[in-house]
Every structure is written in structure tokens, then in C-alpha cells.
Amino acid sequence: GAVVSQHPSWVICKSGTSVKIECRSLDFQATTMFWYRQFPKQSLMLMATSNEGSKATYEQGVEKDKFLINHASLTLSTLTVTSAHPEDSSFYICSARAGAANQPQHFGDGTRLSIL
Amino acid sequence: DQQVKQNSPSLSVQEGRISILNCDYTNSMFDYFLWYKKYPAEGPTFLISISSIKDKNEDGRFTVFLNKSAKHLSLHIVPSQPGDSAVYFCAASARGGATNKLIFGTGTLLAVQP
């Protein structure tokens, strides 16, 4: 149980385009979803937290107009990287948690984003 | 400011022996700790967690120990198997916080030699 699916797994696109990444909880309802970014040989850095039906809470230094997060249902959250540039190239990972804070987060397999 | 630290970037262990992965934290508000395992190009997989009211939690070959006074936790894997080779992240959260967000360490690459 506790499967999180993330799509696509790999994206290559031109600078200036927008990219949407989907995160789905397949067998549980995720009241809270999280979006992380990981640079090579570094830790996962939390970008934002979203609760179903409400606006996302962004971490300091993360541009909310550039990284649009939508959490429209209990099983789906999306991250849209708008007007992507090469410096946005990274590994983006979502996670989902059901219910209370004493439940672990379950992660998707990540999306490798490469902006040319 | 790295609130969760894994000072060993890598560890090599023989198959069948014990693997001990260490993690230190600085924020005394953290009260929930987790270990995740990550293979390349995949998301982390939850392994085991521990609440600050405990000092040990065991699940099969995996045991997590928490020393609150030292702000230190460790993950023991015994016996180690080649399939355990991966990057291990520890993470911590303060569950009284608004979002209970996880703060991750930088990871330790475990290589279990056959």
C-alpha cells in the first residue's frame, strides 16, 4: 500500500516552456502533499506544502509564481514550472501523506527535468 | 544551516555484517524521525520511524536508536544484504509545527559487498 505515482519521469524541453508534473496517491487519500527538489549529491529540499483545496505554502526562496502548485483533489497534486530555464534543471520529487502528522510521507519516483 | 546532518557520505560493509548509519540533528523541537532508502532515479522509500518518546524501534532487520540527549539517531541493518546498497536519508520533523515538514540529511551511500 501507500503508492505514489509521479509523471512524467523524465522531461527535456526548451528554455521558456512550461512543464507540468503530476503526483498521484494511488491507494490512499493524501490530505497533504509535498514537493521537493534535489540537486546532485545534495539532500532533498522542500519547496512547498499543499493541502487539498487550499493554497500551497512555499518555503523561503521558492518563487510561487514560477512553481505553481495545485492540489485539487485528495489524490492529485500538480507542479507547473513556468517559463523554465536551464537553472531549473533538477530532480523534482513529490510526496504524499494521509492524515495525521505521525504518518510517514510516501514518495513518488521523481521527475528528471532538463531544460536546454 | 543544516539542521539534520549525516556526516558519513559513504559506508562499505560486508554481506552478513551489521551496517550502522548515523544522523545528528540540532533542533531540539524535532520529535519525529524517519529513515528513507533511495535508489538512483527513484524516490525515497520509507523504512522506519521513531517518535521522541521512544529510544528504540525495530522492524525486521532494521532498528533505529534515538539518543535525545546527544541529538543523535542511528539505523542498524543486520544482517546486511547486497540489496540494501542504496542511499539512506534520515529526516526529522517537529510535529507541533504548522506543516510538520520533513528536514532531510544529505544522505549516506551504503555499499554492501557480497
Give tens-digit pLDDT for B12-71. 999 999 999 999 999 998 999 999 999 987 889 999 999 999 999 999 999 999 999 999
| Interface test mutation site (partner B, options A5, A21, A44, max chain B beta carbons within 10 A) | A44
Residue-wise pLDDT tens digits, A47-104: 999 988 888 999 999 999 999 999 888 899 999 999 999 999 999 999 998 877 677 8
Q: How close is the nearest chain A Cα to the Cα of B100, in Å?
A: 6
Inter-chain CB proximity A102 and B95 less than 8 Å: yes
**Cβ within 8 Å of residue A81, ≥6 positions away:** A18, A19, A21, A66, A67, A88, A92, A113
Q: Which three cell numbers stand for residue B106?
A: 544529505
Of A21, A22, A29, which Cα lies nearest the Cα of A3? A29
| Interface test mutation site (partner A, options B29, B101, B106, max chain A beta carbons within 10 A) | B101
Q: How close is the nearest chain A Cα to the Cα of B111, in Å?
A: 16
Inter-chain CB proximity B44 and A108 less than 8 Å: no
